[in-house]
Amino acid sequence: MNARVFRLIAFAMLLTASASTATALATDEAPNTRLIVSLPPGGCTLLVFPDGSGRIHYGAAPRIVRVAAQAFDFSQVLQSLRSSMQDRDAETHGDAQSIAGVGFPGTNVVERFHDTALARSLLETGWKSRLPPTDQWHDDDEAHAVIGRTCRFD
């Protein structure tokens, strides 16, 4: 691919990203509207979107598992996680393995919390609501198998 074609493709992608961000801002919806739950922080990770859909992945690996829309009640999950975060100061800070991570909408900061049962429950709900693989590179049968083993779903 020559440099001119590459620049044209890059410019088109930039315009597309800018348009989706502008649309989100025009509708008072922040571009970063997802919840992130991971167990342990940075490990098996679930992204939950406002429509109740999600994605599961492990660490920075490119493999993903898509979760069906309406698998989650976004408002309820948000409320449960915020409540768990308010209770974190009252908890004992023992074993470092018993920590989960959460990133709330509007931020890229992942905070630690100790309600690993809640984090595990959300991850398992996502796994049970996973969609069939569709992509030959990131969302394929092998990706599902690897994430299933790594996150201990199977």
| Residues 6 and 74 sit within 8 Å (Cβ to Cβ) | no
Are residues 114 and 100 in contact, defined by beta-carbon separation less than 8 angstroms?
yes
Express as a percent the part of the chain with pLDDT over 90. Answer: 49
Q: Phi and psi at residue 29, in whole multiples of 5°?
A: -105, 120
Q: Are 101 and 121 part of one and the same domain?
A: yes
Q: What is the pLDDT of residue 10?
A: 38
Task: Check whether residue 66 and residue 17 sit in a common domain.
Answer: no
Is the same domain home to 25 and 56? no
The confidence score (pLDDT) of residue 36 equals 93
- Residues 89 and 6: their CA atoms lie apart, in Å, by 51
Residues 2-23, mean pLDDT to the nearest whole number: 39
Mean pLDDT over all residues of the chain? 78
Q: What are phi and psi of 114, to 5 degrees?
A: -105, 5
Which tops the pLDDT comparison, 72 or 9?
72
Q: At what angle do helices 74-86 and 116-128 cross, to 10 degrees?
A: 160
**Looking at the 3D structure of the chain, how many domains does it have?**
2
**pLDDT tens profile 40-71:** 988 999 999 999 999 999 988 889 999 999 99
Cβ–Cβ < 8 Å for 105, 32: yes
Cα 57 to chain centroid distance, Å, stands at 8
User: Tens digits of per-residue pLDDT, 91-146?
Assistant: 444 455 569 999 999 888 888 888 999 999 999 999 999 999 988 778 889 989 99
Phi, psi of 105 (to 5 degrees): -55, 140
Q: Give pTM, 2 decimals.
A: 0.73
Name the residue range of residue 121's domain: 32-150
Please tell me the predicted confidence (pLDDT) of residue 89: 54
